[in-house]
A and B are shown apart, each in its own frame.
Chain A
Amino acid sequence: MYEYEGEDVFVIDSHLHLWDATEENIVHEGGEQFIQCFYDYHTAFTPEEKQWSLEEYRKYGADRMKADLFGNAAVDMGIFQPTYLTDFYDDGFNTTEDNAELAEEHPERFVLNGTFDPRDGEEGLEYLEELNDEYDLQGVKLYTAEWRGDSKGWRLDSEESFRFLEKCAELGIRNIHPHKGPTIRPLNRDAFDVADVDDAATSFPELNFVVEHVGLPRLDDFCWIAAQEPNVYGGLAVAAPMAVHRPRKFGEIMGELLFWLGEDRLLFGSDYALWNPDWLVDVVMNAELTEEQRDEYGVELDLETKKKIMGENAAELYDIDIEAKKEQFESDDVTEEFGLADHYAGSSTAPADD
């Protein structure tokens, strides 16, 4: 568990991938461009001494991932968000099945999300049911800008999409995570457009819409929609690492998000392996608003707010009982493997002396 000035902060990293971008898996030039684009983002927002090589970045595997998340106790739990990209990658880039490799090994530590693509029609609905039967889904990650044959994407507010959202509601899959952020090859189509979230969120008040990457570079449209739709949340993947080299800008963005959405509707995510929580959690926990920003926005980014963003808000959406988890993690396999018992020892008894 991450410790901030003597206080425990339970961290749920709400945006994780276990991907394979090895050359053998790439079947379209878009696949190579995609991983290189990711790598550009990685190097731009990672401290120099923490940067990976492109080769490491292509495929890191479950063991390394586990060590990165839990090795220095930065993360307590994680949520997998699949990204299929099957037109670009032979076996898919980061599928639910890939993610299951690690999630099934440590079910107490991970939430495994599924996905759907309304362009798959009946077959897609069946696949969603299969995933739900297999993994008892609580959420889906959606990639509306994904290429599929001649199609360059789809809209969340389309009739076909609504059929799938209805199916989610019926199956009890409550958390919908549309990716609205950086992508490659939007051509003239505006892949960042968040307007389709508005209608979907109004039509499905029983579902939660976590807009990943807070719509960057459409933060303005996103905040305005979220201010009016109480079931719209912001996923901080991509925004969070701005705290590294652009702390002032990070503060401004957090100021806007807290002003428009409040502290209960923001979720931390590293976007691993785009960025690594083993340093990112620390950077975000130490980020501050300037006095000027606090005055301008009338909000605080204090410890209570950060605890919500780093874990409590995600726990609320995914029915995670943090106190029960702390007790469970006193002796689970991950704690044994990485010697984390001390981190959780204080949860049921007096804090351990370190």
Chain B
Amino acid sequence: MLTVFLQFFFSGLTIGAVYALVGIGFNITYNATSIINLAQGEFVVIGGLMMWFFSESLKLPFFVSVALTIITAGIVGFLMERLTIKPLKNPDLLLMIMITIAVSIVLRGILMFFFGKDPYVYPSFTEGEPLSIYGAIIQQQTLWVIGITGFCIILLFFFFKKTIIGKAMLACAVNPTAAKLVGINVSRMVMLSFVLSAIVGAIGGMAITPISLMEYDKGPMLAVKGFCAAIMGGLGSNRGAVLGGFIIGILESMTAGYIHSGLKDAVALIILLMILFYKPAGLFVSKAMLQLRKF
């Protein structure tokens, strides 16, 4: 009984870790610009597919591939902001969000052109049998995903709370005019937030591909689930996104295990709705904070 429960739990952790990493990506752009970047899922796909390209197709060493993948994703984030967000004369939030949808469609088209419709995979970061805990198994790669998620959160925490650039980025989201008045280059901060979220997305993609495989059109599903994780925890809160991701993942797995696998998405989304009904700002954001927001 315990074994079965633990197995459902670990399966939930595996699924949840993926959602959590995507959720964090949403938060970075949101914290700096108040934009929901709906191309976040495509950044994850770029991470997985480029990592495959560098490590399997070009046979480059692991760390070189990781570095090149991060650079590629950073460039995509940079180009996205410079080509589509910066040229806007009247930056309107809703308009910018729609632009991110357009970018996601374009990116998907480009990815399909270069990689085709087949799924791709490469070996786990560490070789070896899955770990067994009380008879339930957990794949080594899942531990990598969880570890990398934790590492990203700690880095981002220090970045936003302790560095001048991080604080400047937060200031841009709260009040761009005031930020400009104190001498912050707002446009550069917005660009940086896109680069950063693209990199976090790509890191997530690199970590999950050995578990879930990666194909050109996985982005929208990842974006939807990652977005759910982010709003369950409260948009802007990384702690919240992680918790939200794991709650949704574990709920899906438990529903599939104890009720029926056909209902898993429905039950997870109903519980998300109920949480938002009682706590509209999400688990980790207060109501007062919500009123300060533009979106």
A binds B: no
Residues on A lying within 8 angstroms of B by beta carbon are: none
- Chain B residues within 8 Å of A, Cβ to Cβ: none
